Structure 1
Amino acid sequence: MAWKRIIPMIDPVSRSVVDPYSYWALGPGLQDFRLPSIAEQSVPILLRHKAQKWDGEAWALWRDAAEDPDMPERPPHDAQPFDVRFLPLTKALRLIEDPKSRRFFESLERFTIGPPLPSSSVISHGRKDVRMLQFPSSGVTRDTVIIGIIDDGIPFAHERFRKIDGTTRIESVWVQYGSSSNLPIGFDNGFEIPKVDIDNYLLTCRQGDFIDEDEIYRRAGIADFTLEGRKTLAWHASHGAHVMDLACGWDPNEAPDWRIICVQLPTAITADSSGASLAPYAVKALEYIRDRAQAIAGKGQTLPVVINFSYGLLAGPHDGTHVIELAFDRILREHNTTPGKKPMRVVIPSGNSHLARAHASVSFQAKGDQAVLPLRVLPDDLTPSFVEIWLPPATAVGNRVELTIATPQGDVSPPLEENDSSILQYEVAGKVLCEARYHFFSAPTARGMFLISLQPTIRIESENSPVPTDPVVPAGLWKLTLNNLGLLPKECVEAWVQRDDAPVGYPRRGRQSYFDVPSYEIYGHDGRPLEEDDPACPVKRAGSINAIATGKNTIVMGGLLRTELRPPAYSAGGAITTPAGAARPHRCGPDALTVSDDSIVQSGVLAAGTRSGSVVAMNGTSVAAPHITRWIAGELAAKRRGNRRAVWKLAYDKETALPPPEPSPERGGAGRAPLPRVRPSKVER
């Protein structure tokens, strides 16, 4: 049982480009990264290419790795900076480790691996079906609006998404996992359910006069229990059903001409939020909605689009340079600055981690000062835990801070310094329980980060393994100590614990680790949770905003209690970290607040369950986001902008008529915007 320092046998160029989570996922954390009981697995690779054009040699290496005959032999002149391809899991690891790949990695800014899919969900090389692109949708008018939903548990047969004639308003659904028998044009995984198929299901799957939604989802391969995997739509409620109803649900006889395009994310991503990147799937989801909206409009035409993406992460740079933020900002910027194109908007929640104790901020007064961040790792945690410690931008090369880690048993690691190329590993019986590494992210992030990765604290072994054989870490207090070697008092180190909780409707696997500092006061003298920070305490509520909600072009919404007209205790906000080279942050927190709960005693708001006629209550800033998505759709239908400035104006105008106190800009943005209820008030709670 000992700490040791490892010198990785990987080319420094690829090490500087590959996302640091990938090394853990393909190394000590492989048993948790892989899908259980699946022999052949493929992983999506998201590339962020450098600004210059593809080098011929680098392109050839990428083409050989992808083994895609549809890729041109020479790099295209219009190649996009972001590209996603699937590789077998073993081939992805070989690509990283192969010294011959050096030229390929030299052409990249970032190489990010997403969670695997069964290889049966990914199209075989050279087997792409030839299908005609979708014709322009019938009846498109100047009032038509496209609403995109990226979520889990999409109830495409629900009556809230039908027209008065009984047909669906959903133009297509891309299920990103499952059989690759009906691939969307231009995409490599999952299957597509077009409007014509949904209408046919609605017509033929009946029990007398009633539509059999269970039969629809079984026939579509979404809730077929002869297939492996979680069946989200088999439950009475899903996150996607609730969000989708708030964003674009209507009674059929009242529905406006809002066409819907949906993306069902892989259940493995939704079920495990503990660090594996959802970036490749999220970027392709946005591209899919953009492309299908263009196909619906027809050649030479465009339609306004608003997309709801109610997902979040806790850890990240929090300065607008997370890979998802960069990709989303680029897609939105390119679309919205192209002459003749109608606007596209993306709405994201601000996050629910205000009281999670997942954020710490440390500054030092003098060289040699130390700061201890006690990390409470909980028992019964079936998933890995991760902590990111972000350093401020450096004006000169040098080691300004070093990290040591003490286990709950008191085993203290050697120091890991800024710019250190080695890795710290804590081993027991030859198995790695904890790993710490330093990684420098190139521009535009231009900052260094320590990543601490921990194995689960418990495992469920098979019947043939009554004694646990896979590594587990001891639960308890892991002490992360930062020693100042040269940071100035104005330079701040920020740490975040990665999200590790259970999403709506999923069994609890992860248990959220947190910073357990004695000076952090949870409750006030009245017994209520404290929502303001103690300046002397390093653990902060401020700055806990969703790590993918700090981009420049997305619209970010926090939560609001409808009755009390104040943010719920969980609604997270800024401040945002100032990007490298900037004088100040490009935003201070969410853009505004809107309703996420009816009141402090009536948690959540009412919206659809997975079956027609059902209503459930859910809360969170994921509920606030679709409220504003719905409002933006109305604005776009009325030929108004529906952009961030419009949301600011909405909140500012509403705020003038509301009683004090007005939330701070970091917590509430431009103010409170209590939008009307989506479901009728006759539904009693």
Structure 2
Amino acid sequence: MAWKRVPPKIDPVARSVLDPYSHWALGPGLQDFLLPSVREQSVPVLLRRKTEPWDEKAWALWRDAAGDADMPERPPRSAEPFDVRLLSLSKTRRLVEDRTFRHLFEGLERFTLGPPLPSSSAASRDARKARPLQSPSPGVTPNTVVVGIIDDGIPFAHERFRKPDGTTRIEYVWVQHGTASNVPIGFDNGFEIDKGEIDNLLATCRQGDFIDEDEIYRRAGVADFTREGRKSLAWRASHGAHVMDLACGWDPDEAPDWRIVCVQLPTATTADSSGASLAPYAVKALEYIRDRAQAIAGRGRSLPVVVNFSYGLLAGPHDGTHEIELAYDQILRDHNTTPGNKPMRVVIPSGNSHLARAHATVAFQAAGDQATLPLRVLPDDLTPSFVEIWLPPATAAGNRVELTVATPQGDVSPPLEEGDTYILQYDVGGKVLCEARYHLSSAPTGRGMFLISLQPTTRLESENSPVPSDPVAPAGLWNLSLKNLWLSSHEPVEAWVQRDDAPVGYPRRGRQSYFDVPSYEIYGHDGDLLEEDDPACPVKREGSINAIATGRNTIVIGGLLRRELRPPAYSAGGPVTTPVGAALPHRCGPDALTVSDDSIVRAGVLAAGTHSGSVVAMNGTSVAAPLITRWIAGELAAGRRGNRRAVWKLAYGYELLPFPLPRPSPERGGAGRAPLPPVRPARIER
């Protein structure tokens, strides 16, 4: 039982651009990264190229690794800076470990893995060629808007998304997992359900005069219990159903001409939020909505688009340079600056982690000072836990701070230095329970990070293994100690615990770790939850904003209590970290607040369950974001801009009303409160 320093096995060039989570996923964390009980799996690989175009040698190496004969032999001039391919696990490892591919990595800024899919979800070459793009419904008008939804549990048969004649308003649904059949043109996995197929299912899946939605979902392959995986649409409520109703649900007789394009993210990505990147799936999802919106508009025309992406992470650089943020900003910038294109907007929630104790800030006063962040790792956690400790930008190479890790039993690691190429591993009986490494993120992040990775604290062993045999980390306090060598008091170190909780409707697997500092006060003298920080406590509520909600071009929305007109205790905000080379951050927090709860005693807002006629209450900033998405769709339909500035103006307008409470700080509330009206009628009693 001992800590040890382990030299890296990967070429330094590849190591410098490889997402640090990928080291854990392909090493000690492999069994938690892979899908259980699935023999053949495909791993999505996301490349972010440097600003230079592909050179022919790097392109040939990437083409060889992808094994895709349909890729052109020479690099395309118009290639996007982001590229996603599905590779087998063996190919992925070879790509990372074989120095043959060094030249490929020299042209990259980032190499990111996503959670794997069953190989049956990856399209064969013949499957990609076989499917033509189905024509969207005709009749585009000046008031037509495309509303995109990226989520889980997309209820495409629901009456709230139908026209008065009983047909659907949904043009396309891309299910990113499931057997690869009807694979979308231009994409490599899952299957597409188009409007014609949905209309046919609505017409044929009936019990008398009633539409059998369960039969529709079974036939479509999204709620077929003969197949593996979770079936979100078989449950009473789903996150996607609720969000989709708030964003674009209408009674059929009242529905405007809003064409809906949906992407169902893989259930494995939704179920496990503990570190495996959803970036490859999220990037392709936005590209899909963009491409299908163009298909709906028709050649030479354009339609306004607004996309709701109600997902969030806790850990990341928080300066607008997370992989998803960079990709979304690039896609939006390219689309909105192309002559003739109508606006495209993306709305993201600010996050629910204001009280999660997942963020800490340490500012040293002098060289030699030390600070300890006690990480409380809970028992019964079936998923890995991760902590990111981000250092300020360095003006010169050198070791400014050291990290040591102490286990709950008191085993203290040797120091891990800034710039250290070695890895710290806590090894018990030949099994790695904890790993700490230093990673320098390339431009545009340009900052160093310590990543601490922990095995689950419990496992469900098979019936053939009565004695636990898989690696399990001890629960309790893991002390993360930082020693200052030459950071100034104006160079704070920031730490975030990665998200590790269960999404709506999913069984609990992960349990959220947190910083357990004795000086952190949870309750005030009146027994209420404290929402303001103690300056002397390193654990901070501020700065807990969603790690993919700090981009430049996305619209970020926090929550609001409708009755009390103040943010709920969970609604997270800034400040946002200043990017390298900038004098100030490009945003201070969310853009505005809108309703996420009817009141402090009536949590959540009402919207659709998975089946027609059902209504459920859900809360969180994830249900505030689609209200703004709905408002933006109306603005775009009216020919207005519906951009960030328009959202600010909306909030400013509401703030002119005689609200009973003062406006929240810009870091917490952005431009202010915009209590938009409820989507479901007030006659529904709670």
TM-score (norm 2): 0.99
In the TM superposition, what is the alpha-carbon distance from 1:53 to its structure 2 partner?
A: 1.2
In the TM superposition, what is the alpha-carbon distance from 1:125 to its structure 2 partner?
A: 4.0
Equivalent residues in 2 for 1:530-679 (5 A)? 530-657=530-657, 658-679=659-680
Cα contact 1:358–1:544 (8 A) shared by 2 = yes
Q: In structure 1, what is the equivalent of residue 115 of structure 2?
A: 115
Equivalent residues in 2 for 1:134-213 (5 A)? 134-213=134-213
CA distance in structure 1 between the aligned counterparts of 2:397 and 2:528, rounded to whole angstroms: 47
Q: In structure 2, what is the equivalent of residue 256 of structure 1?
A: 256
- In the TM superposition, what whole-angstrom CA distance separates every residue of 1:454-491 from its partner, at most 9, and x where no partner exists? 00000000000011110001100000000001101100
CA distance in structure 1 between the aligned counterparts of 2:426 and 2:549, rounded to whole angstroms: 34
Letter of the structure 1 residue corresponding to residue 488 of structure 2? L
SS in 2 for 1:123: coil
Q: In structure 1, what is the equivalent of residue 292 of structure 2?
A: 292
CA distance in structure 2 between the aligned counterparts of 1:500 and 1:361, rounded to whole angstroms: 20
Q: In structure 1, what is the equivalent of residue 509 of structure 2?
A: 509
CA distance in structure 1 between the aligned counterparts of 2:144 and 2:407, rounded to whole angstroms: 59
In the TM superposition, what is the alpha-carbon distance from 1:400 to its structure 2 partner?
A: 0.3
Q: In structure 2, what is the equivalent of residue 333 of structure 1?
A: 333
Cα contact 1:134–1:295 (8 A) shared by 2 = no
SS in 2 for 1:375: strand
Q: In structure 1, what is the equivalent of residue 381 of structure 2?
A: 381
CA distance in structure 1 between the aligned counterparts of 2:681 and 2:211, rounded to whole angstroms: 23
Cα contact 2:127–2:181 (8 A) shared by 1 = no
SS in 1 for 2:639: coil
Cα contact 1:135–1:298 (8 A) shared by 2 = no
- In the TM superposition, what whole-angstrom CA distance separates every residue of 1:46-71 from its partner, at most 9, and x where no partner exists? 00001111121111110011110111
Letter of the structure 2 residue corresponding to residue 75 of structure 1? P
Cα contact 1:68–1:126 (8 A) shared by 2 = no
CA distance in structure 2 between the aligned counterparts of 1:131 and 1:143, rounded to whole angstroms: 31
Letter of the structure 1 residue corresponding to residue 684 of structure 2? V
Cα contact 1:136–1:298 (8 A) shared by 2 = no
CA distance in structure 2 between the aligned counterparts of 1:485 and 1:137, rounded to whole angstroms: 65
Letter of the structure 2 residue corresponding to residue 149 of structure 1? I
SS in 1 for 2:129: coil
Cα contact 2:131–2:183 (8 A) shared by 1 = no
Which structure 2 residue ranges, 5 or more long, are not aligned? none
Letter of the structure 2 residue corresponding to residue 26 of structure 1? L
CA distance in structure 1 between the aligned counterparts of 2:184 and 2:83, rounded to whole angstroms: 17
Residue correspondences, number: 685
SS in 2 for 1:253: helix
CA distance in structure 1 between the aligned counterparts of 2:127 and 2:252, rounded to whole angstroms: 40
Q: In structure 1, what is the equivalent of residue 466 of structure 2?
A: 466
- In the TM superposition, what whole-angstrom CA distance separates every residue of 1:219-262 from its partner, at most 9, and x where no partner exists? 00000000110011000000000000000000000001011000
Q: In structure 2, what is the equivalent of residue 492 of structure 1?
A: 492
CA distance in structure 2 between the aligned counterparts of 1:337 and 1:125, rounded to whole angstroms: 34
In the TM superposition, what is the alpha-carbon distance from 1:417 to its structure 2 partner?
A: 0.4
- In the TM superposition, what whole-angstrom CA distance separates every residue of 1:425-460 from its partner, at most 9, and x where no partner exists? 001000000000000011110000000000000000
SS in 2 for 1:128: helix
- In the TM superposition, what whole-angstrom CA distance separates every residue of 1:80-139 from its partner, at most 9, and x where no partner exists? 110000100121011100011110110100000000000000012454233333435311
CA distance in structure 1 between the aligned counterparts of 2:132 and 2:201, rounded to whole angstroms: 22
- In the TM superposition, what whole-angstrom CA distance separates every residue of 1:529-559 from its partner, at most 9, and x where no partner exists? 1000000000000000000000000000000
Letter of the structure 1 residue corresponding to residue 524 of structure 2? G
CA distance in structure 1 between the aligned counterparts of 2:140 and 2:53, rounded to whole angstroms: 38
Cα contact 2:127–2:183 (8 A) shared by 1 = no
SS in 2 for 1:451: strand
SS in 2 for 1:62: helix
Q: In structure 1, what is the equivalent of residue 268 of structure 2?
A: 268
Letter of the structure 2 residue corresponding to residue 166 of structure 1? G
In the TM superposition, what is the alpha-carbon distance from 1:173 to its structure 2 partner?
A: 0.3
Q: In structure 2, what is the equivalent of residue 427 of structure 1?
A: 427
TM-score (norm 1): 1.00
Q: Does 1:223 align with 2:226?
A: no
- In the TM superposition, what whole-angstrom CA distance separates every residue of 1:270-294 from its partner, at most 9, and x where no partner exists? 1000000000000000000000000
Q: In structure 2, what is the equivalent of residue 439 of structure 1?
A: 439
Equivalent residues in 2 for 1:4-19 (5 A)? 4-19=4-19
- In the TM superposition, what whole-angstrom CA distance separates every residue of 1:345-399 from its partner, at most 9, and x where no partner exists? 0000000000000000001010000000000000000000000000000001101
Q: Which aligned segments of 4 or more residues in structure 1 are displaced greater than 4 angstroms?
A: none
Letter of the structure 1 residue corresponding to residue 12 of structure 2? P
CA distance in structure 2 between the aligned counterparts of 1:53 and 1:508, rounded to whole angstroms: 44
Cα contact 2:136–2:171 (8 A) shared by 1 = no
SS in 2 for 1:677: coil
In the TM superposition, what is the alpha-carbon distance from 1:644 to its structure 2 partner?
A: 0.2
SS in 2 for 1:129: helix
Cα contact 1:594–1:674 (8 A) shared by 2 = yes
Q: In structure 1, what is the equivalent of residue 401 of structure 2?
A: 401
SS in 2 for 1:312: coil
CA distance in structure 1 between the aligned counterparts of 2:445 and 2:257, rounded to whole angstroms: 41
SS in 1 for 2:300: coil
CA distance in structure 2 between the aligned counterparts of 1:90 and 1:424, rounded to whole angstroms: 26
Q: Does 1:681 align with 2:647?
A: no
Letter of the structure 2 residue corresponding to residue 680 of structure 1? P
CA distance in structure 2 between the aligned counterparts of 1:305 and 1:125, rounded to whole angstroms: 31
Equivalent residues in 2 for 1:59-70 (5 A)? 59-70=59-70
Cα contact 2:235–2:610 (8 A) shared by 1 = yes
Cα contact 2:566–2:661 (8 A) shared by 1 = no
Cα contact 1:70–1:126 (8 A) shared by 2 = no
Q: Does 1:304 align with 2:300?
A: no
Percent identity between the two aligned chains: 81
In the TM superposition, what is the alpha-carbon distance from 1:9 to its structure 2 partner?
A: 1.7
Q: Does 1:73 align with 2:69?
A: no
SS in 2 for 1:479: strand
Cα contact 1:354–1:542 (8 A) shared by 2 = yes
